[in-house]
Amino acid sequence: RKRAQFFQDEAAKKVQDRKEADASVTYVEDKDTRKPKAVADISDYWKSDLGMLPFTPGDNVGGAEDGDDIDPQDRLEYLQMFNEQLGQLLRLKFHVFWSQMIYDDKVRRVLDSYLRFCLRSHDACAGQATGATNG
């Protein structure tokens, strides 16, 4: 009871203090000693493996370079999984999200590959218009 009350009191104090995320701490239970320990809110402590896979140009559905060797159903399943993982990332608490972004190279690479290779609506329209005039 005392331990739970301590964590509640510290959480309430944290809200009241209104410190910046990079100056604030959260108290967690140490795995070894089972005593409370302060962990910086922006820290690799909060990082977890989200299991995200890089996005490649072949992951686009309906792209201009559709090949017969790639199953559109596999692409759709990957995109649905990727969408769920992005949703999971965006639902993280503020300090956990930024800790993940700062300390997880894999997530940064995944987002970079998505932003570089994902077709936007204007890319798809341009590809269709080019295909229609060349055909």
- 65 in helix, strand or coil? coil
Type of residue numbered 57: P
Tokens for 72? 């559109």
**CA diameter of the chain:** 75
pLDDT digits (tens, 9 = 90+) for 75-96: 888 889 999 999 999 999 999 9
pLDDT computed for residue 36 by the predictor: 93
Type of residue numbered 1: R
Q: What is the dihedral of CA 108, 114, 116, 122, to 10 degrees?
A: -150
pLDDT computed for residue 67 by the predictor: 56
pLDDT computed for residue 135 by the predictor: 46
Mean pLDDT, 10 residues at a time, over the chain (135 residues)?
A: 88 90 91 93 95 85 59 84 94 95 95 88 60 50
